[in-house]
């Protein structure tokens, strides 16, 4: 640099786009960033790594990496590895969904699927209907389109269609196109809610009458708990979609491992073609080794034969967590029984605010996600999402004991449910990030 | 579905966003989709898979998948695997770039890096300055922001700064903010051009005077050819960026393998923080196994010790292609000598149009990317990008012989350079997609 042209280094933020200036860290807490020693984390929706099929992964990787098939590590087709594309219709058929290779695309995790769907189906200024509460990853991905997220109430049967009609009318009268309705019918993130069969049917009919697109996110459907649910209960909306108005998302992150970033979308062929173009500029293609490992797991039958073990393990953890909660906090916390999936949605009694409880909980060695992270309209302060999927049963019991101390303290012993502001702020900065 | 509510299936395109309606298949040809038997492909910028370190990948995967470290396959931090984040400053230091962990983020391939940079630095209605011609993946990623891509001429020294000033004045007088200048200084895709040292210096000074952000894309920098270039010639702009105005992109796709989707961005810490938020909604995290394999390659020293072999192999292929072109097409094609990287940028004599030549070439068993795919302003018809990186030397010679037949036919024997429209259209649909 010639003398005289060297200027003081300015803040590079002057180069940011308007949308970057508006970007905020997701309100959801990334427990992985909280580095307190011996912390019990109920925050992230991580699968239990003791269920990962290490021996099989090693064996499969060994054979895939023998160099005989150079395409394993070459750039691959944007739509996905052909072997995986060909088996996805089989996986879908097991869930009652009729699909061909033309109806599927592989994505780099379901988060990419949400991002691509946002781009392909929503414009800035549109409205997107989401459940209250809903998955934070959908909130951020859909929010990036510049669309407005409009929350619809849900009850224990699922999305409240009377409220959906009110919201729909409100948004349309505001001049907004409603781009789609986003739902997680099976063991919803964060509530664990299982949409009833009749509500599924009613939702499809409701969407037909209003000619709306449904985006159905189903990462947990095969993880139902045998003691309270069956495969039939988690039958996807897409299985009964006779009008091509459901775009279906699912993933191998919960049943194989999330470190392999492999998920997929099933949708009408014309939509898949657009999603493919969007994926071309997003990342060209999903990892080749990851796609083949998942494919080979299916070919060996292991993906299916392992499901009962996964279901039993998560069911047991749910039971352990429920028992511990009943034992430690019989009056302070209530929850709907999780019938599958990873999450227990705790409702705290007044006057506890879960955002304010969090820093205290971290101080006591336990972390969760405050309910407010999942509500697009600012409510949710009395809820906490407790993921029972990741910690061991011993750690679940330890964590609930710690939580009980904090909650009881907040309820009375300390004389106030509102801790000092300073620690809240501190823990906040340590814990804010997106988690699954 | 109740009788009466079932309606005829309509085209799902009524649900598409405005931006999805505007999406078109990239003009660039995806040779991988052309399924003629025995086709020689000079189209995609694929690395040579015979250079993939299969034995090492297998050995590393074996040890990573032993189950002792469950985080290998768990969801990982959005910014990247800590081990990789910590070594990126070392890799950057070898290229003359000073960086800390705060200055880097891992991306799912460089295509994601381009996509994230588009979101973080450009808004709809902005202008982005790109070289004429430039990489198609950048064209689609940046185009998705709704920004206008303004082409700037380049000569054999690199981007033409006098033309850049003209374009800058034109865009600003049109009321557009210029978001950034995108350049590929090392062995540019598609021209193979190596920006001269003095032009690099001049570009930095020019950007400083106009206070512009530079996005420097450098996938090929370590693949210089010893017979005509040295490491010093490919020193990144970022190495001399004293004002934090360069965002630097690089990748392991060309030096390890593209099937591992691992690339990175080096930028000011504040920009990295925004890019991380953008990546959270794009795909949560990059594949865990992929990141660790690349990291372990570096730790073992193999990443560096293999580079001379890579350089020598691609240099030899370049020489083979040049010799074949001189032998077969001494008058019909000229080109600047590639000093590194994967591409030879052929200039065809009048009246040959490479878009029209393509279907004939495919008919003769050889495929390339027509120059028009790389120009944002509609020109480029007399150019063809020939990638010498992927085919074996025997196939390169065979492919150039086939190309020679087609070119000579177009020049005279057939009496016309314009083939019939029908086959052009057909091959077009078979070959259009994005390639690296």
How remote is the C-alpha of B150 from its chain's centroid?
18
How much of chain B exceeds pLDDT 90, in percent? 86
| Interchain proximity B213–A2, CB inside 8 Å | no
Residue B37 has pLDDT above 90, yes or no: no
Give the pLDDT score at B351.
Answer: 87
Q: Assess whether pLDDT exceeds 50 at residue A391.
A: yes
Q: Are A296 and A60 in contact (CB under 8 A)?
A: yes
Residue A70 CB burial class (10 angstroms; 0-12, 13-18, ≥19): middle
- Closest-CA distance, A44 to chain B, in angstroms, reads 9
Mean pLDDT of A363-391: 95
B34 contacts on A by Cβ (under 8 Å): none
Residue in B6, B47, B61 nearest the CB of A61: B61
How big is the CA angle at B316 (ends B314 and B321), to the nearest 5 degrees?
Answer: 95
Mean pLDDT over residues A400-410, rounded? Answer: 95
Supply the pLDDT for residue B426. 32
So what's the pLDDT on residue A33? 60
Considering only CB atoms, which chain B residues are within 8 Å of A211?
14
Q: What are phi and psi of B386, to 5 degrees?
A: -110, 110
- Predicted pLDDT at B420: 38
Q: What is the mean pLDDT of residues A278-304?
A: 96
Q: Cα B236 to chain center, whole Å?
A: 16
| Token pair in block for residue B172 | 């600003």
> In this model, does residue B293 exceed pLDDT 60?
yes
Per residue in B134-148, pLDDT tens? 999 999 999 989 999
Of A73, A109, A290, the CB nearest to B257: A73
The whole-number pLDDT of residue A399 equals 98
Structure-token match 């109920």, residue found: A42
| A69 has a pLDDT exceeding 90 | yes
Give me the mean pLDDT over the A396-413 stretch. Answer: 92
Over 70: is that where the pLDDT of A431 sits?
no
What does the alpha-carbon distance between residue A229 and residue A58 come to, in Å, rounded to a whole number? 34
- Contact residues on chain B for A52, CB-CB shorter than 8 A: 67, 70, 73
* Whole-angstrom distance, CA of residue A360 vs CA of residue A199: 39
Q: What is the pLDDT of residue B434?
A: 54
| Radius of gyration of the CA atoms of chain A, in A | 22
Name the CATH architecture for the domain at B19-52+307-431.
Alpha-Beta Complex (3.90)
- Closest by alpha carbon to B187, among B150, B143, B246, B228? B228
**Could you tell me which residues come within 8 angstroms of residue B154 by beta carbon, excluding any fewer than 6 positions away?**
B131, B132, B160, B188, B191, B193
**Average pLDDT in chain A:** 91
Please state, for a pLDDT cut of 90, what percent of chain A lies above it. 86
Band of the pLDDT at B33, cuts 50, 70, 90? low
For a pLDDT cut of 70, what percent of chain B falls above it?
A: 90
- Note whether B137 contacts A18, CB cutoff 8 Å: no
- Asked if B280's CB is within 8 angstroms of A17's CB, the reply is no
Which three-class secondary structure string do you get for chain B? CCCCCCCCCCCHHHHCCHHHHHCCCCCCECHHHCCCCCCEECCCCCCCHHHCCHHHHHHHHHHHCCCCCHHHHCCCCCCCCHHHHHHHHHHHHHCCCCCCHHHEEEECHHHHHHHHHHHHHCCCCCEEEEEECCCHHHHHHHHCCCCEEEEEEEECCEECHHHHHHHHHHHHHCCCCEEEEEECCCCCCCCCCCCCHHHHHHHHHHHHHHCCCEEEECCCCCCECCCCCCHHHHCCHHHHCCCCCEEEEEECCCCCCCCCCCEEEECCHHHHHHHHHHHHHHHCCCCHHHHHHHHHHHHCCHHHHCHHHHHHHHHHHHHHHHHHHHHHCCCCEECCCCCECCEEEEEECCCCCHHHHHHHHHHCCEECEEHHHHCCCCCCCCEEEEECCCCCHHHHHHHHHHHHHHHHHHHHHCCCCCCCHHHHHHHHHHHECCCC
- Which has the higher per-residue pLDDT, B220 or A31? B220
Which one of B23, B179, B260 has the shortest CB-CB distance to A274? B23
For residue range B202-227, what is the model confidence (pLDDT) as tens digits? 999 999 999 999 999 999 999 999 99
Place of tokens 């797991």: A297
A267 to B12: CB separation less than 8 angstroms, yes or no: yes
Where in the sequence of chain B do the CATH 3.40.640.10 domains occur? 55-304
Residue intervals in chain A for CATH 3.40.640.10 = 68-303
Residues of B in Cβ contact (< 8 Å) with A50: 70
Measured between CA atoms, how close is A59 to chain B, in angstroms? 8
Query: What is the dotted CATH code of the domain comprising A68-303?
Result: 3.40.640.10
User: How far is it, in rounded angstroms, from Cα B268 to Cα A303?
Assistant: 43
What residue ranges of chain B are covered by domains with CATH 3.90.1150.10? 19-52+307-431
Strand A263-266 and strand A246-251: the pairing is: antiparallel
CB contact under 8 A, A70 and B50: yes
Residue A252 pLDDT > 70: yes
From chain B, pick out residues whose CB is under 8 angstroms from the CB of A16: 120-121, 271, 274
- The class that CATH gives domain B55-304 is alpha beta
Q: Say if the ipTM goes beyond 0.90.
A: yes
Token duo for residue A63: 């054979």
Task: Tell me the pLDDT tens digit for each residue of B234-249.
Answer: 999 999 999 999 999 9
Q: What is the mean pLDDT of residues B344-358?
A: 94
Pull the structure tokens for residue B326: 């001189």
Q: Which CATH class is domain A12-52+307-431?
A: alpha beta
Please say if the pLDDT value at position A423 is more than 50: no
Partner residue opposite B209 with nearest CB, options A5, A10, A240: A5
Residue A11 has what pLDDT? 85
Report the predicted TM-score, pTM, of the whole model to 2 decimal places: 0.93
**Is A284 in contact with B259 (Cβ distance < 8 A)?**
no
Instruction: Give pLDDT tens digits for A138-183.
Output: 999 999 899 999 999 999 999 999 999 999 999 999 999 999 999 9
CB spacing of A123 vs B9 below 8 angstroms: no
Residue A394: the pLDDT is 98
pLDDT of A416 > 50? The answer is no
Q: Is pLDDT of A10 > 80?
A: no
Q: How far is B350 from chain A (nearest CA, A)?
A: 33
Mean pLDDT confidence for A61-81: 96
Ranges of CATH 3.90.1150.10 domains, chain A = 12-52+307-431
pLDDT score recorded for residue A436: 74
Give the pLDDT confidence score for residue A29 in this predicted structure.
42
Q: pLDDT tens, A306-324?
A: 999 999 999 999 999 999 9
Asked if B54 and A77 come within 8 Å (Cβ–Cβ), the reply is no
Calculate mean pLDDT across residues B313-333. 97
Q: Which of B46, B126, B288 sits opposite A74 (nearest CB)?
A: B46
The pLDDT assigned to A4 comes to 40
Q: Pick the residue with more confidence: B8 or A217?
A: A217
| Predicted local confidence at residue A228, as pLDDT | 96
**pLDDT exceeds 70 at position B435:** no
Which pLDDT score is estimated for B36? 72
Q: Is the pLDDT of residue A51 over 80?
A: yes
Q: Quickly state the pLDDT bin for B81 (edges 50, 70, 90).
A: very high
Interface touch A283/B284, C-beta < 8 Å? no
- Asked if the Cβ–Cβ distance from A180 to B204 is below 8 Å, we say no
Of B49, B108, B283, the CB nearest to A74: B49
Q: How high is the pLDDT of residue B9? A: 55
pLDDT band, residue B11 (cuts 50/70/90): confident
Higher pLDDT, A281 or B10: A281
Question: Is B5–A208 a contact, with Cβ atoms under 8 angstroms apart?
Answer: yes
Distance between CA atoms of residues A180 and A226, nearest Å? 32
Mean pLDDT of A24-39: 63
pLDDT tens by residue, A266-279: 999 999 999 999 99
């Amino acid at each position: 640099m010639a003398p005289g042209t060297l200027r003081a280094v300015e803040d590079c933020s002057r180069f940011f786009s308007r949308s970057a200036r508006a970007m905020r860290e997701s309100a959801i807490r990334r427990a992985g960033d909280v580095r307190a020693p011996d912390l019990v984390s109920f925050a992230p929706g991580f699968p239990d790594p003791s269920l990962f099929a290490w021996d099989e992964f090693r064996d499969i990787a060994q054979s895939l990496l023998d160099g005989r098939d150079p395409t394993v590590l070459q750039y691959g087709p944007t739509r996905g590895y052909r072997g995986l594309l060909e088996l996805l219709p089989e996986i879908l058929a097991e869930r009652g969904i009729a699909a061909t290779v033309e109806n599927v695309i592989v994505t780099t995790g379901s988060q990419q699927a949400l991002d691509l769907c946002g781009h392909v189906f929503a414009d800035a200024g549109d409205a997107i209907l989401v459940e209250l509460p809903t998955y934070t990853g959908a909130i951020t991905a859909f929010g990036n389109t510049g669309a407005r997220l409009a929350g619809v109430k849900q009850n224990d049967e699922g999305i409240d269609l009377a409220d959906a009609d009110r919201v729909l009318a409100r948004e349309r009268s505001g001049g907004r196109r409603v781009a789609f309705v986003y739902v997680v019918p099976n063991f919803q993130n964060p509530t664990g809610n299982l949409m009833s069969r009749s509500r599924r049917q009613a939702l499809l009919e409701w969407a037909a009458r209003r000619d709306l697109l449904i985006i159905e996110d189903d990462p947990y459907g095969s993880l139902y708990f045998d003691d309270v649910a069956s495969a039939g209960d988690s039958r996807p909306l897409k299985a009964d979609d006779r009008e091509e108005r459901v775009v279906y998302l699912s993933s191998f992150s919960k049943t194989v491992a999330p470190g392999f970033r492999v998920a997929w979308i099933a949708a009408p062929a014309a939509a898949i073609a657009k999603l493919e173009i969007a994926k071309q500029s997003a990342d060209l293609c999903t990892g080749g080794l990851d796609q083949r490992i998942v494919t080979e797991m299916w070919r060996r039958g292991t993906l299916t034969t392992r499901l009962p073990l996964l279901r039993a393990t998560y069911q047991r953890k749910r039971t352990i967590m429920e028992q511990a909660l009943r034992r430690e906090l019989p009056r302070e916390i209530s929850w709907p029984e999780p019938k599958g999936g990873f999450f227990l949605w705790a409702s705290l009694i007044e006057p506890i605010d879960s955002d304010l409880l969090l820093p205290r909980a971290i101080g006591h060695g336990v972390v969760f996600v405050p309910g407010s992270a999942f509500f697009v309209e600012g409510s949710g302060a009395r809820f906490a999402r407790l993921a029972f999927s990741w910690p061991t049963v011993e750690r679940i019991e330890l964590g609930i004991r710690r939580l009980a101390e904090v909650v009881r303290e907040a309820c009375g012993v300390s004389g106030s449910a509102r801790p000092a502001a300073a620690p809240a702020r501190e823990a906040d900065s340590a814990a804010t990030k997106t988690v699954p």
